[in-house]
Structure 1
Amino acid sequence: MKIGDLAARTGVAPRLLRYYEQVGILHPIRSSNGYRAYGEPAIERVLQIRELLDVGLTTDMIREVLPCLGAEPKPRECPPAKDLDGLRSQLVNIEKRIDVLQRNRQAIKKFLSAWEEADTTLEPTSG
């Protein structure tokens, strides 16, 4: 697929996709006419890049860890990470965000449950 198709399927602007290529975290195939071509796996790759950026990883961190984020990472086959302390710090931040999200999910569930219970106990008014 062409860059415009990938952009449409991921919601990421073509300019940003070209930037991902420039910093080495997205690797299109170049056709004979020089156009970028992407396979179906590029969709998941772009979405994963967006998620990693959203939780605070830098493109440098992503470039280091992305090749090793498969189903069963094998650290000895991965290039050595330069910023392990930064990755550890980001992991702590992600875990904190998960805790906050879980607490908020529970609070919203309780709120909705209370409203649903109250709604079923109220008698309809006739007027």
Structure 2
Amino acid sequence: MRFLNEWQPRVLSLLRIVSALIFLLHGTQKLLGIPPKSFEVAAFSLSWFAGVIELVCGALILVGFMTRPAAFLASGSMAFAYWIGHAPRGLFPTVNGGDAAILYCFIFLYIVFAGPGPWSLDAKRNPKA
């Protein structure tokens, strides 16, 4: 157990990095077409704003800079996405396609409270935070 406890902060950093990278990819796909997409996102639509949040917050969370506010915004945007975009299509997340939105929402909410972990710019700027 001691080994697991010693690695807990580093694994928090890994959770943050991997979650943010995948979240960021949703933004790059919506706004930049990377990776290529089969849909268009109209400027200033809800999907466009979601893409901006995914791109900006995803990048901030990935490097661990202003992590808590970025994770708070990302978590809220995923809660909004679930209730506006997925829940109306059915009760169960596995049926309405909202399982990823729920996971992102709660992972980012956890990061708001847990912080970025030691492998972050926030930790480098303020080691006691």
Q: Same fold (TM over 0.5)?
A: no
| Higher helix proportion (structure 1 or 2) | 2
